[in-house]
Amino acid sequence: MKPHAITEAPADAATRKAVKPVICYPVEGLPRPDLAAYRAIRDDLETVDRVIVPPREAACWTVPSGHFFRIHSVEGPQVGDLNLFNASNVEERLYTGKTRALNGTHVGLGDQLFSSFPYLRPIATITHDTLDWYGFDEFGGSVHDVIGTRCDPYTHNLLSHGGQYHHCCHSNLTRAFARERGLSPKEAERHIHDVLNVFMCTGFTRDTGQYFMKASPVRPGDYLEFFAEIDLLGCMSACPGGDCSSEHSSDKVVCHPLEVEVLKPKRLPAGWVPPAVNGYDGSHGL
């Protein structure tokens, strides 16, 4: 749909356009995490691993079910492109489309990240976000979107008329995942999926509906914290776009590392049970 129509509006166009929207997926029926139970165990956490994600590169880490992990801004504003997998079955991975349909375009405190079909279950819960104050700005922008796909060398090639760039998030994730799992880059690439854009500030323009980005409000000391619902393998790229204030898919802008911290709680959240895979029987009516 484009804002400049070439067709003539029908007589009742105004009436049709005035119909109020309804939420596609009313989530009142969705089992919600007991956020207070998760947050009650945050005050006594032991750091068990730290991983630095170098600028314009990616790195992997694992998080046992029942542990937390935090993505920290260090040194300067930087966006991270996050992939998440079931550590023991990488066919189950973050499904940003359904996560978006259930939570909205941007995720935050109390939201759960869902996995791909046929598993479709929460695999991580956001338990703290130091950028929670940002909300939505006057442009409709917010942080931590599940709408962008990841910068990639194919789109860059199209838009730059043949350009070859090897440090897009897609390639960074591919290299890191290949190293982590001992796969060829070709094998690894098929596992790389649409990302949670950690710390990235994005939205859609009101007039043309185009995906926009603007300088991330993140500063060193900020972090986004998750509770691992299942054993997770994380893979994240420190985007070549840096704070994503101007461009990506190049080596032109200033980039910074990100740090991932894995934390072990003294106990599990009261009443928490690991989520089972989806209960649909898979027969599809056959």
* Shortest spacing between CB 67 and Zn ion, in angstroms: 27
Closer residue to Zn ion, CB minimum distance, 143 or 169: 169
- Report residue 229 as tokens: 């619902």
Q: With contacts defined by CB under 5 A, name the span among 1-9, 40-48, 225-233, 236-244 that binds Zn ion.
A: 236-244
Nearest to 151 by CA among 255, 66, 62, 226: 255
According to DSSP, residue 274 is labeled P
Q: With contacts defined by CB under 5 A, name the span among 3-11, 198-206, 214-222, 233-241 that binds Zn ion.
A: 233-241
* Shortest spacing between CB 129 and Zn ion, in angstroms: 20
Are 238 and 56 spatial neighbours (Cβ–Cβ below 8 Å)?
A: yes
Nearest to 225 by CA among 263, 176, 197, 196: 263
Is position 94 an interface residue for Zn ion (rule: CB under 5 A)?
A: no
Are 127 and 68 spatial neighbours (Cβ–Cβ below 8 Å)?
A: yes
Q: Distance of alpha carbon 32 from its chain centroid, rounded?
A: 19
Is position 151 an interface residue for Zn ion (rule: CB under 5 A)?
A: yes
Is position 102 an interface residue for Zn ion (rule: CB under 5 A)?
A: no
- Could you give the dihedral angle defined by the CA atoms of residues 236, 137, 141 and 242, in that order, rounded to the nearest 10 degrees? -40
Is position 84 an interface residue for Zn ion (rule: CB under 5 A)?
A: no
Instruction: For residues 53 and 103, give the distance between their C-alpha atoms in angstroms, rounded to a whole number.
Output: 27
Using the rule CB under 5 A, which residue among 71, 102, 146, 169 binds Zn ion?
A: 169
Is position 124 an interface residue for Zn ion (rule: CB under 5 A)?
A: no
Is position 239 an interface residue for Zn ion (rule: CB under 5 A)?
A: yes
Q: Which residues bind Zn ion (CB under 5 A)?
A: 81, 151, 169, 239
